[in-house]
Structure 1
Amino acid sequence: MKTQRSSGARLAVAIAMSLILASCTRSGDDAAESQPTDTTTATTAAPATSAVPTNPDTTTTVAPITVDSTAAPTLPPPAAPVTVVDLAEVGTPGLDSDDAFCASWSRFAGSFQVVAVTAAFGSGPPEQLAALEVAAAPTVTSAYRDLLDNWPDELADEKSLVADEFLGPFARRIGDAREALDAVGAGDDTIAAISEAWLAGLAERDPSTPEFVVDLSDEVWATVDEAAVVFAGQRVPFGTDPSLVTNVVTPLTDEYLAVSCPDQGTLSGQEVGTP
């Protein structure tokens, strides 16, 4: 029998979309308000090259007004069209990217988003969130290692800062959750099953609903729950962990993620102004 557990992880995507849509609405309203309302001149003015009719009370004819086209100002060429890439409505962008850096980023940041939003909006007991972190652990620890192993050369100046201060706090916390699995005797097959289920959840999450599903057997869940007890005894709850509060500026990495990776920076909240 399969056991499915859900969380409030998809709220982050829904919130992001609502903020983006709200931003678009405001832009549209501003544009509408900026349109001129007095169109009298535009609708009544005669074309520049047309002749003015003869005055009916005199025999004098007003000469037509002409425009020297060679003196007209040269307008700049139209701007190049902007290419907009639509993000997938379901799933976590970039999980299977051919770029190993981007794929690792999507797995790491997508997992953080799931845990963080569940901590903020979930209503379950603390043990449930601890179990969610344990379930994320194999994927997150692997993604963090692969992310650093495939770090782009052009971001070399920020690698240590990102690794230690930006991503490091969550990586170290989840590293403890991964060690808790080893402490309760989770074997390779169990670790593989947990990782596979977590990645499937990331690939299938629906931003229109507030649930995140990790589909594991009862036996594997029992191991996860046992490890969660160990992990909870080592770490304070996610939402009260002071180490996760960071104020790190990484402009090169932010720009690279926004331009080069499939999520376009949304997994780090760049599009909605979140930290």
Structure 2
Amino acid sequence: MTQAKSSLPPLLQRAIAPSLSTRFMWAGIVITTFFVVIALLAPWFQDWGLLQDPFKVPLENPIHSPPSADHWFGTDRKGYDVFSRTLFGTRAALHVVLLATTLSLLVGVPLGMVSGYLGGRVDRVMLFFMDTLYTLPGLLLSVTLAFMVGRGVLNAAIALSIAYVPQYYRVVRNHTVSVKTELFIEAAQAMGASTWTVLSRYLALNVIQSVPVLFTLNAADAVLVLGGLGFLGLGLPEQTPEWGQDLRQALDALPTGIWWTAMFPGLAMTSLVVGLSLVGEGLNDWINPLVRRER
């Protein structure tokens, strides 16, 4: 058994090692996968009659009904089924967050590579601009952008992504600056390789090691920021199932003892953030040799 395990690649050995960080990472993967499955199956559940329409209120639905066999998570002040809106809120959150983090990755990584590789005035100008964006709080920047672009899935994703572009830029740019002085880069340049060839073939795989970690941690943060935008009324369109909006509508009912309208969306948001954070921290310990520790 020991000999078979030693023949595995080092990354795979660390992935199955019974360390605390590995257990946390797999716990985060299970939690995140659970929410992904819910997001994918929610429309099918509605077609099968297992969920009520989260956009419409059936006439027979009571308002502020506590959890019961008919409404597992109860109903809110308008009669919406909280269970249905919580599940479809998962779909909305993952849709916006995945789009936002992907956009920021596609913009920040190439800019960081070009800036770090070219250096000079290009690097100084881009670094100044990105550092300026980086100093602004993510939620404040997203709120300002949401005011400018308005509501909607794409608009919310754009507002979130701009706040994360500087993070990808800084990480990739710093790695590029350190890697571009290696001998294999100088050898490629001496052989007449173009800038595009050096960036895509020799630099890319050596500077994006931290991108998966940053992607998951930014996704966790984006869930909270999207919830904040929804709570302020700046996220998705009105009546769209979204955790932040549901928490905003539930705020007035909390002093009267109506806890279920806020508890279940808040618990779903917290669980998804914890799952994504555990995946990110586990990947960091798994990939990065500088922070990896012996059991």
TM-score (norm 1): 0.27
- Greater percentage in helix: 2
Q: Which has the larger radius of gyration?
A: 1
Instruction: Identify the structure with bigger relative contact order (alpha carbons < 8 Å, sequence gap 6+).
Output: 1
TM-score, normalised by the number of residues in structure 2: 0.26
